[in-house]
Structure 1
Amino acid sequence: MANPLQKTTGRHKGKGRFLLSFAFLILATVLMFYVHLRTGFAHLSDRELWQVLLGGGTEAQRLTVFDFRMVRSLLAVLVGGGLAMSGALFQTISRNELASPSLLGVNAGAGLFVMLLIYARDTSAPSPFWQLPLAAVAGAALAALLIYRLAYRKGQTLSPYRLVLTGIALTAGIHALQLLLVVRLDPQKFHIVNTWIIGSLSGNTWIHAAALAPVVLLLGLLLWSRSMDLNLLSLADETAIGLGLPINRARFLYLMAGVVLAASCVAIGGNIGFVGLICPHIARRLAGADFFRLLPFTAVLGSLLVLAADWVGRVIIAPDEMLLGIVISILGAPYFLYILVRTRK
C-alpha cells in the first residue's frame, strides 16, 4: 500500500522542479529580451542602452531603442507566446502532438485572405493598419469554421482524427489557390506577399503592438482560468462527457479561441511556422500535461524561441537580415523530425 506521505513528498518535488524550471525560463527570456534590444544596425553599449532606458541618451538613441528595437522585441514576445498557446490548444483539441495552426488550415486561411487583400488594393496608397490583421483573422476563422463543419457529424462527437484530416485537405487546396494568385502578382506586391508568407517582425509599429497585446494577454488569461476544461478535453470523449464537459461545444469554442490567437499573431508577424508545434511539445515534457502549468510554460517558451530566432536572423548575416520564418524553420525542422521518429517507435 502506498504511503500518503511519499505521495505528498512526490507532489512537492514535482512542484518544486516546475517552479525552478519556470523561473529559469523566465530569466532566460528576460536576458534574451535584453540581448534582442541591444542588437541592431546602430551600435549601443550596455551603458548607453541603460541610459536610454532610464530616460537619458540622445534623441537618435531614444528613437532607435523605443521606436524600432523595443517594439520589435515586444512583438516577438507576444507573437511567440500567442502562437505557442494556440498550438497547445490545437494539439489538445485534435489529441495529436503534431497538430499546429499550420496543420489545421488556420495559417493557410489567413494567408489566402491577406494575399487577396494585397492583390486587390493599391500598394502605392497608404492603407489603415487594421486591414491586414482583419483580413488574416477573417480568413483563419472562415477556414476553421469550414474545417469544423466538414468534420462534424450530426448526433456524434467531433472526431479529432477527422478534424486533422479535413484540415490537411483544406490546407492543400488553399495552398493551390495561393500559387495561382502568386503568379499574377506584380514584383512589388510579390515582395510584400513573399515577406509575409515567410514571416518577419520588421516594419511594425507600436500601433501593431497595442492591437496584439490585449488579444494575447486577455485570451491567455481566459484560457488559463479554464485549465480544468482543457484538461478534460484531453481525456477520452466518454470520460470528459461523464465528468460534465459538453464536448462538441467545448471543442468549437476552444478551436475558435486558438484561431483568434494564431490569426492575430500571424497577421502581425506573417506565416511563422513550427512555434505552435514544438513549444507545446517541449513544455509537456518539462511541465507536465496539466494546463494550469502547461499554458504559461508554453507561452514563455514560445516568446523565448521567437526572440532568439529573430536575434539570430539579425546577426547571422549582418548587416543584412535573415527573415524570422527562415530561422525558425531551420531550428524547428530537426525537432519536428525527432518527433516523427519518436512517435513511430
Structure 2
Amino acid sequence: MRQSAIRKQRLILVVLFALILATIVVSMGLGAAKLSYDRLLPTLFGQGTFKEDFVLFSIRLPRIVITLLAGMALALSGSLLQGVTRNELADPGVIGINAGAGVGVAVFFLFFPIEPGSFVYMIPLVAFIGAMITTLLIYLFSYSRRNGLQPIAIVLNGIGFAFALSGLMFVLISSAEREKVDFIAKWLAGNIWGTDWPFVYALLPWLVVLVPFALYKANRLNILGLSDPVVIGVGVSMNKERTWLLLAAVALASAAVSVAGGIAFVGLMAPHIARALVGPRFQLFMPVSVLVGGLLLLVADTIGRNIGSAEGVAAGIIVALIGGPYFVYLLLRKDKAAG
C-alpha cells in the first residue's frame, strides 16, 4: 500500500475519533434528566451529586457505549458480507441475518419464562443461534456442487429469507402477551434496549475477538474480490474462506442486534462511506468503516432519544430514514453503471 494512502487513512481515523468523542460529550449532556455540561468533568472524576452520578454512570454512559459498539459490529459485519458476496448492497439487515437473530430473540423471550434483562449473556448467544440457522439455510440454497458457494445467490436467497422471517416474527407475536409484544415491537423498530453495563460486557468479547480476526483476513478479502479462476490460481480456498468470514459476519451482526434491536442499513452505509474516503482495499477501509458505523448509530440514537415523546424515536427508525434513500441511490447508481 502507498504511504500516502496510509497517511490519509490515519488522518481520517483521527478525525473520526474526534467526532465520536464530540458526539459522546453532546450525548452525555442531553436527555430527559438534566445534566449540565459544566458538571460533566466533575461527575466523571467522582465529584458529582448522587443524581448526577446516577444519570451519567447508570443511564447515559452504558447506552452510549452499547450504541457505539453495536454500530461498530454492524459496520464490520456489512464490510465482511460485501467482501464475501462481492456485492456492495449486502447488509446483515437486507439479507436476513438480523431477521434470523430477531426470531431467535423472540422465541427465547416469548416461550421461556425469562425477563428481558435476565440472562444477559445468553441473549447474544440465542441471537447467534437464530442467525446461524438462517445463514445455514441461505448457505444450503446458495451452494451448488458444481460451482460452489455463489455470492449472488447468497444475496438473493438472503432477501427472500428476510421477508419470510419477518412474516414469521409477526405470527409469533400475534398471540403473545401485550407486554411481551410491546418489547418485541420496540426491538423490531431498532430501539436500543440493552442499556445496562452487563449488556456492554456481553457484547464486548465478540468485538474483541472478531475485529482482529477480520483485520487479519483483510488481504484474503481483497483476493476474494477477484474472479474465481484468479482466486483458485493464487491458492486460496474460496469456500473455506467465505465460510469463516460469513460466520464472523453473522456473529457480529447477531451480537449487535441482540442488544440494539433490529437495526438495518448501518452495515450498508458505513462500508460505502469508508470506501469513498480511503479506497477499496480492505486493510484501509475496514478500520474506517468500524468507526463510521459507531458514529452513525451514536448520532442516530442521540437524535432519536431527544425528539418526539418522552421515549423518543428508535435509533433504527432514524437510521432507516437515512439508509432507505441511500439504498435506493446505490441501486440507481449500480443500474446506471451496469447500463
TM range (shorter): over 0.9
Specify the alignment match of 1:259 in structure 2.
Answer: 250
Distance 1:201 1:54 in 2: 27
Which of 11, 15, 19 pairs up with 2:6? Answer: 15
Contact 1:198-1:326 within 8 A present in 2 as well: yes
In the alignment, structure 1 residue 296 sits paired with structure 2 residue 287: yes
- Compared CA separation, residues 260 and 48, structure 1 to 2 (3 A): same
CA distance 1:247–1:286, shift in 2 (3 Å): same
Of 250, 257, 263, 1:272 maps to 263
Letter of the 2:250 counterpart? V
Match of 1:3 in 2: none
What displacement does 1:324 show? 1.1
What is the aligned partner in structure 2 of residue 184 from structure 1? 175
CA displacement at 1:74 relative to structure 2: 0.6
Distance in 2, matches of 1:259 and 1:166, equals 15
- Work out which of the residue numbers 122, 125, 140 in structure 2 matches 1:134: 125
Partners in 2 of 1:135 and 1:105 — Cα distance? 16
Indicate yes or no: 2:297 matched with 1:306: yes
Aligned residue pairs, count = 336
Structure-2 residue corresponding to 1:111 = 102
**Corresponding residue for residue 73 of structure 1:** 64
State yes or no: 1:325 paired with 2:335.
no
Offset at residue 47 of structure 1 (A): 2.0
- The alignment's TM-score, normalised by the length of structure 2, stands at 0.94
Deviations 1:243-296 (A, max 9, x none): 121000100110000000000001010110110111111111111111111111
Match for residue 316 of structure 1?
307
Alignment partner of 1:97 out of 82, 88, 105: 88
Gaps (5+ residues) in structure 1? 1-7
How many angstroms does 1:318 deviate by? 5.8
* Structure 2: runs of 5+ lacking an equivalent: none
1:134 to 1:18, Cα distance in 2 relative to 1, 3 A: closer
Runs of 4+ in 1 over 3 A off after TM superposition: 11-16, 122-127
RMSD across aligned C-alpha pairs, in angstroms?
1.8
Q: Deviations over 1:36-87 (max 9, x none)?
A: 1222222222221110111211122112111111111111110000000000
Hey, what does 1:5 align to over in structure 2? none
CA distance in 2, matches of 1:202, 1:105: 21
Residue of structure 1 in register with 2:137 after alignment: 146
Instruction: Quote the residue 2:22 is aligned against.
Output: 31
d(CA) in 1 for partners of 2:86, 2:211: 20
Residue in structure 2 matching 1:222, options 213, 216, 219: 213
Aligned to 1:4: none
Q: Which moved more, 1:120-129 or 1:205-214?
A: 120-129
CA pair 335-246 structure 1, distance change in 2 beyond 3 A: same
Kept after mapping to 1: 8 A contact 2:94/2:264: no
Task: Judge conservation of contact 2:300–2:318 (CA < 8 Å) in 1.
Answer: yes
Aligned-residue offset at 1:203? 4.8
Contact 1:314 1:320 in 2 (8 A): yes
Matched residue SS, 2:149: coil
With over 3 angstroms needed to count, the CA separation of the structure-2 counterparts of 1:221 and 1:124, relative to structure 1, is closer
Shift of 1:217: 2.5
Secondary structure, counterpart of 2:120 in structure 1: coil
Give the Cα separation in 1 of the matches to 2:115 and 2:108: 14
Distance 1:62 1:227 in 2: 42
Question: Which residue number in structure 2 is paired with residue 195 of structure 1?
Answer: 186
Residue matched to 1:165: 156
Deviation at 1:187, TM superposition (A): 1.3
Q: 1:181 to 1:320 in 2, by over 3 A?
A: closer
Alignment of 1:49 with 2:40, yes or no, is: yes
Identity score, percent: 34
Q: Which has the larger radius of gyration?
A: 1
Report the alpha carbon displacement of residue 110 of structure 1 after superposing the two structures with TM. Answer: 0.9
1:62 aligns with 2:53: yes
Q: Is the 8 A contact 2:6 2:284 kept in 1?
A: no
Is this contact kept in 1: 2:187–2:193, CA < 8 A?
Answer: no
